[in-house]
């Protein structure tokens, strides 16, 4: 029996892509699944699919950059199930351009979601987990936090910030029994890239990219480990690529 069975997991960005796959796989392992997202149609579709598997799903339209939204989402989870055991911060956005061609509005947009939003969710989750001296926070970074990438100064540096935050929280919260894991996936063939010119033009070969369900399997495996085991960082990549 997996540690996730009967426990409550929150997945941000849970309506599509990697977040959706994590929600579905967690449900199959017996978790009580809550998802947040801004895309209402995809949110409802994923809610229905998770409910078909697990019998229930809490789906909330919520903006991770809005402090009140994040506080309310966590409160709704506690009101429904009385606990919050695992959080997966999967919400994220992207920008690619030379630094000289990057409007500050795009910098703010990426950092608001990828850093501020993730920080807010970690903070509110910690408030619930600390009294229990138990819990697991899993932050989805990127292989872009492993190296510098051409024309990704905004996105890549935001994921380096995620990595740094995870390292700090692993020390701070780990002393109180809360595990913090940071995942570094390679490029995934998900709808995260659906409007990227390289995907639309066929420049990117999806068959050579990771599939969302495969990365989700790695994330859910880490989430399923018993509390005596902590994975601080994990790089997930396609062999030979």
Give bridge partners of residue 135 from the DSSP assignment.
178
114 in Cβ contact with 148 (< 8 Å): no
- Cα 31 from chain centroid? 16
- Cα 210 from chain centroid? 16
Query: Active site includes 119?
Result: no
Give bridge partners of residue 182 from the DSSP assignment.
139, 233
Q: What angle do CA 31, 35, 36 make, to 5 degrees?
A: 160
- Cα 3 from chain centroid? 19
Give bridge partners of residue 9 from the DSSP assignment.
33, 86
Computed from CA positions of residues 94, 99, 105, 108, in that sequence, does the dihedral angle turn out positive or negative?
positive
Catalytic residue among 94, 111, 119, 155: 155
Phi, psi of 185 (to 5 degrees): -80, 145
Angle between helices 17-28 and 212-224 (to 10 degrees): 50
Q: Helix or strand or coil: residue 223?
A: helix
Burial of 27 (0-12, 13-18, 19+ CB in 10 A): buried
CA distance 180 to 189: 26
Q: Annotated active-site positions, please? A: 155
């Amino acid at each position: 029996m997996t540690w996730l069975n009967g426990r409550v997991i929150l997945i941000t960005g849970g309506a599509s892509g990697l977040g959706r796959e994590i929600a579905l796989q967690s449900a199959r392992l017996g978790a009580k699944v809550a998802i947040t997202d801004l895309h209402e149609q995809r949110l409802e579709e994923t809610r229905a699919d998770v409910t078909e598997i697990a019998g229930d799903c809490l789906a909330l339209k919520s903006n991770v950059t809005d402090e009140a939204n994040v506080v309310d989402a966590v409160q709704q989870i506690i009101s429904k199930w009385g606990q919050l055991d695992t959080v997966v911060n999967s919400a994220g956005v992207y920008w690619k351009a030379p630094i000289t061609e990057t409007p500050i509005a795009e910098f703010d947009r990426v950092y608001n979601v990828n850093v501020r939003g993730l920080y807010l969710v970690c903070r509110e989750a910690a408030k619930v987990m600390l009294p229990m001296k138990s819990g697991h926070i899993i932050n989805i970074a990127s292989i872009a936090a492993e190296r510098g990438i051409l024309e990704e100064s905004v996105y890549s540096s935001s994921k380096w910030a995620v990595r740094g935050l995870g390292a700090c929280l692993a020390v701070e919260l780990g002393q109180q029994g809360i595990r913090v894991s940071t995942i570094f996936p390679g490029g995934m063939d998900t709808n995260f890239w659906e409007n990227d010119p390289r995907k639309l033009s066929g420049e990117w070969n999806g068959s050579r990219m990771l599939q969302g369900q495969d990365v989700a399997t790695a994330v859910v495996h880490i989430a399923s480990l018993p509390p005596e085991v902590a994975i601080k960082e994990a790089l997930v990549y396609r062999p030979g690529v």
